[in-house]
């Protein structure tokens, strides 16, 4: 028997499906249907997960580690997480101040859900990662966009932060290196933001550092220590939640392991919520993450260099396409491409989501990307260059072919329907 009431909750009705995962699902469905699609929509390294990590997962299975663990992660993984924060981010925290979740996304979800009330405001530099504003809205709080520009390196300034804080501000969400722009804050810039935050003790700060190992310079030179707020401004550490993980650094996206370090009250609040949402993160994945944090890290330098070479090739090829421009990202593995000169083909300027039609047009030509409007930007798209060099080159050749005047004039743009419908 079917129910007559199929209404979803008011909280869910406030949010849209994730545009990164929706586009990726659509690309997978087209591929399953026999279409030749190159997916540059989701951010995941194409490199194989390191063999020692895979071996640790297998050994955990053989060892019967197939049961519940402590909700916030095994003692072994929490200890490895403490090591990771100290070694890779310079952040010294006791084991009582770290927790483990099913991906960094879940840590962020729990932290925001555990602390936000209706009426609270959350400051998010835009362009932002797709899930930040949706989680905030799901929690019933308000998103306050802090607009950034390509010429300003997609970074907010201290003055901009000061002007945006109100008595209702509860969180500032920082992401460095950032998704989708690669924006990377220097230690000096973080200290300037910290001076502002010091005057507003009610504001919590999320420092999403998941891309920390992937810095190319000039603002985030790969050789230097990654700069993170809780280290640069120790006086603020009691209200900073630093999020990290193994997905991007160790090509372990499918394992779903994220870690966080922060004040004990917040860590306990997140674990309280996790005890009712997923319970513990996957036991096998936790064993693999121990190997990732404790095992050799040398391969990272090689991966970073390969990503840097891809970034340079990708930016050059995109900028050679008439109508497209891409700044050089300082970190992560995305290019945020502006397509403003071409956008009249895809809808009136009054439509802030007309770049969805552009993304669907590119999909028609065999490349999956995510529209800029999904990230709080507009009139462009994000591509991930975390794919094999030849595939990225072929994808950009397809994009060029899709955007010639002839291809644009022949496109049946009206046939494109939203990727999230």
Q: Which residues bind ligand GLU (CB under 6 A)?
A: 18, 20-21, 42-43, 105, 129-131, 179
What does the block give as tokens for 17?
């499906």
Residue 30: burial class (beta carbons within 10 Å; 0-12, 13-18, 19+): middle
Least distance in angstroms from the C-beta of 18 to ligand GLU: 5
Measured from the Cβ of residue 269, the count of other Cβ atoms closer than 10 Å reads 17
Nearer to ligand GLU, 42 or 144 (CB): 42
Residue 337 Cβ, how far from ligand GLU at the closest point, in Å? 15
In the complex, the smallest distance separating the C-beta of residue 70 from ligand GLU, rounded to whole angstroms, is 25
Min CB(372)–ligand GLU separation in Å: 13
**Least CB distance from residue 130 to ligand GLU, whole Å?**
5
- Nearest distance in Å: CB 396, ligand GLU: 18
Tell me whether residue 102 or residue 357 sits nearer to ligand GLU (CB atom): 102
Contact 175, 51 (CB under 8 A): no
For ligand GLU, which is the closer residue by CB, 43 or 380? 43
Taking the complex as a whole, the smallest distance from the CB of residue 61 to ligand GLU amounts, in Å, to 26
Shortest distance in whole angstroms from residue 317 CB to ligand GLU: 20
Cβ(25)–Cβ(3) under 8 Å?
no
Nearer to ligand GLU, 81 or 131 (CB): 131
- When the beta carbons of 109 and 171 are compared against ligand GLU, the nearer one is 109
Bond into 223 cis (ω within 30): no
CB of 180 to ligand GLU, least distance (A): 7
Query: Closer to ligand GLU at the Cβ: 52 or 391?
Result: 391
Is the distance from CB of 41 to CB of 24 less than 8 angstroms? yes
Query: What does the alpha-carbon distance between residue 346 and residue 379 come to, in Å, rounded to a whole number?
Result: 9
Is the CB of 104 or the CB of 262 nearer to ligand GLU?
Answer: 104
Provide the greatest CA pair distance for the chain: 62
CB of 104 to ligand GLU, least distance (A): 8
**Residue nearer to ligand GLU on the CB measure, 85 or 211:** 211
Which residue, 216 or 385, is less far from ligand GLU as judged by CB?
Answer: 385
Query: Based on CB atoms, which residue is closest to ligand GLU, 124 or 130?
Result: 130
CA distance 268 to 96: 9
Give the residue nearest to ligand GLU (CB): 43
């Amino acid at each position: 028997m079917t129910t007559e009431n199929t209404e979803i909750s008011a909280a869910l009705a406030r949010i849209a499906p994730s545009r990164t995962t929706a586009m990726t699902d659509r690309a997978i469905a087209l591929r399953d249907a026999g279409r030749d699609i190159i997916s540059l929509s989701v951010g995941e390294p194409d490199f194989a997960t390191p063999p020692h990590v895979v071996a640790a997962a297998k050994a955990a299975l053989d060892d019967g580690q197939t049961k519940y663990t402590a909700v916030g992660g095994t003692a072994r993984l929490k200890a490895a997480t403490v090591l990771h924060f100290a070694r890779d981010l310079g952040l010294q925290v006791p084991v009582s101040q770290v927790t483990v979740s099913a991906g960094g996304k879940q840590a962020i979800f729990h932290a925001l859900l555990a602390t936000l009330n209706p009426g609270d405001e959350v400051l998010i530099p835009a362009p932002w990662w797709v899930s930040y504003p949706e989680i905030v809205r799901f929690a019933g709080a308000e998103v306050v966009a802090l607009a950034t520009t390509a010429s300003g390196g997609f970074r907010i300034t201290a003055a901009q932060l000061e002007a945006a804080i109100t008595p209702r501000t509860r969180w500032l969400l920082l992401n460095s290196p950032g998704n989708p722009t690669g924006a990377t804050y220097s230690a000096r810039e973080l200290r300037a933001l910290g001076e502002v935050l010091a005057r507003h003790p009610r504001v919590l700060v999320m420092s999403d550092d998941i891309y920390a190992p992937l810095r190319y310079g000039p603002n985030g030179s790969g050789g230097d220590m990654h700069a993170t707020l809780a280290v640069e401004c120790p006086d603020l550490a009691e209200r900073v939640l630093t999020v990290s993980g193994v997905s991007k650094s160790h090509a372990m996206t499918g394992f779903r392991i994220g870690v966080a370090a922060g004040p004990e009250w917040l860590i306990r609040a997140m674990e309280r919520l996790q005890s009712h949402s997923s319970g513990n993160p996957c036991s096998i994945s936790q064993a693999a993450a121990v190997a990732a944090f404790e095992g050799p890290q040398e391969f990272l330098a090689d991966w970073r260099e390969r990503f840097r070479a891809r970034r340079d090739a990708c930016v050059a090829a995109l900028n050679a396409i008439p109508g497209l421009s891409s700044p050089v990202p300082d970190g992560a593995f995305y290019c945020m491409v502006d397509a403003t000169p071409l956008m009249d083909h895809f809808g009136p300027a009054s439509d802030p989501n007309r770049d969805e039609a552009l993304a669907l047009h590119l999909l028609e030509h065999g490349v999956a990307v995510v529209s800029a409007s999904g990230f709080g930007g507009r009139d462009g798209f994000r591509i991930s260059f975390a794919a094999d060099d030849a595939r990225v080159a072929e994808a950009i050749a397809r994009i060029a072919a899709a955007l010639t005047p002839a291809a644009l004039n022949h496109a049946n743009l009206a046939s494109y329907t939203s990727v999230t419908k």
